[in-house]
A and B are shown apart, each in its own frame.
Chain A
Amino acid sequence: MSVRRILPWAMVVLALMFAASAAGGFVVQLATQVLVLWCFGLSYQLLFGRTGLLSFGHAVSFGLAAFGTAHAVRSLAGVPVYELLPLAGAAVGLGCGVLLGYPVTRRSGIAFAMVTLGLGELVAACFLMFPGFFGGEAGVTLQRTRVPSMLGLDLGQGLPQLAVTAAWTLAVLGVVQGLARTPFGLATLAVRENAQRIEFLGFRTATVRWVSMLVASTLAGVAGALSALAYEIVTVDAVSMHMSANVLLMTVIGGLAHPLGPLVGALFLTVMQSVVSDWTRAWLFYYGFVFVVLVWLAPEGITGLWQAARRQRPSARTVATVLIFALLLVVFVETAYQLALGEPTRLPGWRHFGPVALQALLWSSGLAVAAMLVRGLRRSEAPA
């Protein structure tokens, strides 16, 4: 966990913060969201990317920690410990890891995925039944300014909150990076690759998995706490399948191997959700489509693609094909949404087309997309 390794990351984050502060409160809020998601994604990357444990219930640690932090803020009003509040989240996350992790990590693969799915559903369903702790449907709100800052910052403003979030995210990054260099970190990789063999070498795979889950839950707890503090509200969304699915999609899209992966995924998700959704109603479709394509073509995610591109520059032809396909797809999808919903997308141009022109556009772009897909599939089948 050397300072020298963290320094370039810290510089990047500082630069981003300055840029965000110049752009206004909304961008600062989005930047905070990206950092929180990056932190959450890093914890998931440890669990799934390194140890190979596909979890559909990771949001349980995240959400419970968020609720715990909200209640901590309420009970610690007046005590100047603001910057240490994510430790409360970490504690809750650790608790989740201990309680749920031990029995669950005795399985792996599909069984593990199904157990986490079931547990996630159970927790989310129980949520609404205990309005006292979980605030019912309206959730739990908090005023973060009630807990004074240790450093005298005015946390009512967006920028100091962004700074605190950034500091904690860098800390989590440091932990993850540091862990990767320890024997334990290497063992997690080995457990993912060949669990049976590593048992023979003397490691207990169940223990490795359990510790990995403990760490991942703790870090997810930190992310949950940061989320609660950034938004000042925690709702049942935070433990839902939706949140678990989001962290999965985001991390896979970004890339499971590189620490920048979850950041790229978080940026992608935030841009889609908060910016692209303003322009078009098809943003959910694009999000799902990118995920499916990446799983199929490039399981290393966007960072993986970028690294591959650095090793061997893709030909101009490949780039052109991809761009043309993307353009045709967007035309097809937007036209389809336009026809189906009858409301113009806010992308420029579509409102000017009449129904006949739209139908023509739909069919032509649809056929072109289908043709390219079929050709691509045929090509991928042909012997290399």
Chain B
Amino acid sequence: MELLATSLLNGLTYGFLLFMLAAGLTLVFSLMGVMNFAHASLYMLGAYVGATVAAAWGFVAALLLAPLLVGLAGCALERWLLRPLHARGHVAELLFTFGLAFLIEEAVKLVWGAGSIDHRFPPALEGSLFSAFGTPYPAYKGFMVAVAVASLAGLYALVAHTRVGLVVRAALSHPQMVQNLGHDTDRVFMAVFGLGSALAALAGVVGGAALTTEPSMAAQLGTIVFVVVVIGGLGSITGAFLAAMGVGVLQTLLIAVDLRLSQWLPLSAWPALAAVAELKVSQLAPMTPYALMVAMLLARPRGLFGQREA
């Protein structure tokens, strides 16, 4: 029981981190159809810039400055580099962001070195928030959840209750019409991309401190984020949230399961599958998101709540 409860709690926390990352990506994708491969790289940049700012001016400054700087960089990226590629189609944009991710990783290694750097939460956030079933819940995890919830709330409010959000939602389904009505869709796209980048950077500042800050962090988290966005549905923030929670909880709960596959699948008949039979469910747990993504894409490419077909 204790294991189940702590696993659930851990799963939800992990889900919140995934959501912070996925929110920016799904926002950008839902609006512009661009699957931004460099999104995880922006997360990494946020972590590194945040670490540097925090070392000089403190963690709060990092929380504010890093997303701002990376957000501006995102705007510039969209305006100067991605916009000309719109006309050439989604695949060209995907390829470009793929190459960009590559370049950003090399640049980070050059500026900050190839190893991991020290980026941690301030001492105020160390220690535990509360104890659940005898296991303490760290304060910094509570902080991460708070930041994620705040960003979700802010995003939702922006999209659902402001005029800008109205324009954004309209541009999602009828960009030409919105332009005809006199709104500058180009500027809207640029702002949305910048917002998405800023969100990724915010996730980076927090995630980099909670996990590790090193050049491979983008590649490691990148694919999981795609999984979440795809499962949740391309174009839906709610979908991204639910998918992130689902993936987080499922993966965490499965780790607690120590059953071997041979215990509930009759694989012993085939000696060739002996190796498979010996695998424990907990060993396969980190692979479940990928399996889910593949299954989802084959069964229902729109994802759970998607508004547009991939």
Q: Which residues of A contact B (CB under 8 A)?
A: 52, 54, 103-104, 106-107, 109-111, 113-115, 117-119, 121-122, 125-126, 129-130, 132, 245, 248-249, 252, 284-285, 288-289, 291-292, 295-296, 299, 336-337, 340, 377, 380-381
Contacts and interface: CB of A to CB of B under 8 A. Distances in A.
B250 to A, nearest CB: 16
A291 B310 contact: no
B281 to A, nearest CB: 13
Nearest to A293: B99
Provide the main secondary structure of the chain B interface.
Answer: helix
B265 interface: no
30 contacts: A54-B94, A107-B298, A109-B90, A109-B91, A110-B33, A111-B301, A111-B309, A113-B35, A113-B94, A114-B293, A114-B297, A117-B226, A118-B290, A118-B293, A122-B290, A122-B294, A125-B286, A130-B276, A249-B99, A285-B106, A288-B102, A288-B106, A291-B99, A292-B96, A292-B102, A295-B96, A296-B85, A336-B110, A377-B80, A381-B84
Contacts of A288: 99, 102-103, 106
Given A110-B35, A296-B96, A52 B91 contact: yes
B230 A114 contact: yes
Nearest to A54: B91
A115 B294 contact: yes
Given A52-B91, A109-B91, A337-B110, A119 B99 contact: no
A289 B106 CA distance: 10
A261 to B, nearest CB: 15
Nearest to B275: A130
B8 to A, nearest CB: 25
Nearest to B111: A340
Given A121-B223, A285-B106, 15 more contacts: A107-B301, A109-B91, A110-B35, A114-B35, A114-B310, A118-B291, A118-B297, A122-B287, A122-B290, A126-B287, A284-B106, A285-B103, A291-B102, A296-B96, A381-B84
A299 B93 CA distance: 11
A62 B21 CA distance: 32
A292 B276 CA distance: 41
Contacts of B297: 107, 111, 114-115, 118
Contacts of A340: 110-111, 113
Contacts of B84: 296, 380-381
B298 A252 contact: no
Interface string B166-194: 00000000000000000000000000000
B96 A109 contact: no
B200 interface: no
Contacts, number: 107
Which of A103, A118, A252, A299 has its CB near the most chain B CB atoms (within 10 A)? A118
Interface of B: 33, 35, 80-81, 84-85, 88, 90-92, 94-96, 98-100, 102-103, 106-107, 110-111, 113, 223, 226-227, 230, 275-276, 279, 283, 286-287, 290-291, 293-294, 297-298, 301, 309-310
A132 B95 CA distance: 36
Contacts of B106: 284-285, 288
Contacts of B275: 129-130, 132
A248 B98 CA distance: 10
A110 B302 CA distance: 11
Nearest to B287: A125
Given A52-B91, A288-B99, A292-B103, A122 B291 contact: yes
B283 A129 contact: yes
Nearest to B90: A110
Contacts of A126: 287
- A-B complex: 10 closest residue pairs judged by Cβ atoms: A111-B310, A292-B99, A288-B102, A118-B293, A291-B99, A288-B103, A111-B301, A118-B294, A285-B106, A115-B297
Which of A52, A285, A336 has its CB near the most chain B CB atoms (within 10 A)? A285
Contacts of A113: 35, 91, 94
A117 to B, nearest CB: 7
Contacts of A248: 95, 98
B92 A295 contact: yes
Nearest to A122: B290
Given A121-B223, A122-B287, A296-B81, A104 B298 contact: yes
A342 B232 CA distance: 46
Nearest to B230: A114
Contacts of B310: 107, 109-111, 114
Nearest to B89: A109
Nearest to A336: B110
Nearest to B114: A341
A332 to B, nearest CB: 11
